[in-house]
Structure 1
Amino acid sequence: MMLAATRNQKSKGAPEQPIAPDVVRQHVEQAAFFWAQRDTLLTDDPPDPHVVAGVDRRLEANLDGLRIAGPAAWPFVVAAHEDFPEKGELFLFAWMAIEQNDGLRVSEAVELGRQREDNARGLVGALAWHKPGTIAAEVRDWIGAQDAFKRFLAVSACLEHGVDPKQMLARLVRDRDARVRAISLRLAGKLRRADLAKELRAALEDGEERPRFWAAWALAELGSGDLATPELRKVAVAGGPDAMTALRAAVGAAPDKDVRAWMGGLLKVPETAPLAVRGAGMLGDRTLLHWLIHQMRNPALAAAAGSALLELFPEAREADLFTTEPSQVGQDFEDHFGDEVAKVPFADKVKAWGNAGGWLAAS
Structure 2
Amino acid sequence: MMMVAGSYGQQSDGTVEHRIVKDIVRQHAELAAFLWAQRDTLAAEDPPEGNVVDGVGRRLEANLDGLRIAGVAAWPFIEAAYEDFPEKGELFLFTWLAIEQGSDNKIRQAVELGRASDDDARGLVGALAWHKAETISPLVRRWISAQDAFLRYLAVAACREHGVDPKALLTNLMRDPDVRVRANSLHLAGVLQRLDLVHEVAGALDADDGSVRLWAAWTLNELDRGDLARAELRKVAATNGPNAPTALRALIKAGPQDDVRAFMGGLLKSPDTASLAVRGAGMLGDRSILPWLVQQMRIPALAAAAGGALLETFPEARGIDGLFTLDPTTLGPDFEDHFGDFAMKVPVAENVRMWSNSVLQK
- The residue aligned with 2:346 is 344
Q: Distance in 1 between matches of 2:320 and 2:3?
A: 37
Q: Distance in 2 between matches of 1:352 and 1:249?
A: 33
- The residue aligned with 2:196 is 195
- The residue aligned with 1:266 is 267
- The residue aligned with 2:247 is 246
Q: Distance in 2 between matches of 1:171 and 1:265?
A: 39
Superposed displacement of residue 9, structure 1: 8.7
- Do the aligned partners of residues 51 and 7 (structure 1) sit closer, same or farther apart at CA in structure 2, a change above 3 Å counting? farther
Superposed displacement of residue 6, structure 1: 5.6
Tell me whether 1:73 sits opposite 2:74 in the alignment. Answer: yes
Fraction of identical pairs, as percent: 64
- The residue aligned with 2:236 is 235
Superposed displacement of residue 151, structure 1: 0.3
Q: Distance in 2 between matches of 1:203 and 1:149?
A: 21
- The residue aligned with 2:302 is 301
TM-score with structure 1 length normalisation?
A: 0.95
Superposed displacement of residue 360, structure 1: 5.1
Superposed displacement of residue 241, structure 1: 2.7
Q: Deviations over 1:213-272 (max 9, x none)?
A: 000000010111111111112212223332221121121122111110111111111111
- The residue aligned with 1:225 is 226
- The residue aligned with 1:331 is 333
Contact 1:226 1:254 in 2 (8 A): no
Superposed displacement of residue 335, structure 1: 2.2
* Aligned-CA RMSD value: 1.9
Deviates more, 1:279-288 or 1:242-251: 242-251
Contact 1:229 1:254 in 2 (8 A): no
Tell me whether 1:51 sits opposite 2:52 in the alignment. Answer: yes
- Secondary structure at the residue paired with 2:18? coil
Q: Deviations over 1:170-201 (max 9, x none)?
A: 11011110000000000000111010001110
Superposed displacement of residue 298, structure 1: 1.3
- Do the aligned partners of residues 233 and 6 (structure 1) sit closer, same or farther apart at CA in structure 2, a change above 3 Å counting? same
- Do the aligned partners of residues 7 and 311 (structure 1) sit closer, same or farther apart at CA in structure 2, a change above 3 Å counting? farther
- The residue aligned with 1:356 is 358
Contact 1:200 1:218 in 2 (8 A): yes
Q: Deviations over 1:120-179 (max 9, x none)?
A: 000000000000110010000000001000000000000000000001001101111000
Q: Distance in 2 between matches of 1:96 and 1:121?
A: 16
Contact 2:8 2:19 in 1 (8 A): no
Q: Distance in 1 between matches of 2:293 and 2:7?
A: 53
TM-score with structure 2 length normalisation?
A: 0.95
AA in 2 matched with 1:332 = D
- The residue aligned with 2:28 is 27
- Do the aligned partners of residues 64 and 2 (structure 1) sit closer, same or farther apart at CA in structure 2, a change above 3 Å counting? closer
- Secondary structure at the residue paired with 2:271? coil
Tell me whether 1:173 sits opposite 2:166 in the alignment. Answer: no
Deviates more, 1:298-307 or 1:121-130: 298-307
Q: Summarize the alignment of residues 285-296 of structure 1 with structure 2, pairs less than 5 Å apart.
A: 285-296=286-297
- The residue aligned with 1:186 is 187
Q: Distance in 2 between matches of 1:163 and 1:7?
A: 38
Unaligned 5+ segments in structure 1 are none
- Secondary structure at the residue paired with 2:175? coil
Q: Distance in 2 between matches of 1:3 and 1:54?
A: 17
Tell me whether 1:102 sits opposite 2:103 in the alignment. Answer: yes
Q: Distance in 1 between matches of 2:205 and 2:7?
A: 54
- The residue aligned with 1:210 is 211
Q: Deviations over 1:18-75 (max 9, x none)?
A: 1000000000000000011111112211111111111101110000000000111111
Matched residues, number: 358
Q: Distance in 2 between matches of 1:5 and 1:32?
A: 16
- Secondary structure at the residue paired with 2:20? coil
- Do the aligned partners of residues 56 and 217 (structure 1) sit closer, same or farther apart at CA in structure 2, a change above 3 Å counting? same
Q: Distance in 2 between matches of 1:43 and 1:3?
A: 29
- The residue aligned with 1:130 is 131
Q: Deviations over 1:268-302 (max 9, x none)?
A: 11111111110000001111111111111111211
Q: Distance in 2 between matches of 1:27 and 1:49?
A: 24
Q: Distance in 1 between matches of 2:272 and 2:17?
A: 62
- Secondary structure at the residue paired with 1:17? strand
Tell me whether 1:158 sits opposite 2:159 in the alignment. Answer: yes
Contact 1:290 1:360 in 2 (8 A): no
Q: Distance in 2 between matches of 1:317 and 1:193?
A: 36
Q: Distance in 2 between matches of 1:93 and 1:220?
A: 37
- Secondary structure at the residue paired with 1:341? coil
Unaligned 5+ segments in structure 2 are none
Q: Deviations over 1:312-337 (max 9, x none)?
A: 01110001200111111122212222
Contact 2:252 2:260 in 1 (8 A): yes
Deviates more, 1:342-351 or 1:141-150: 342-351
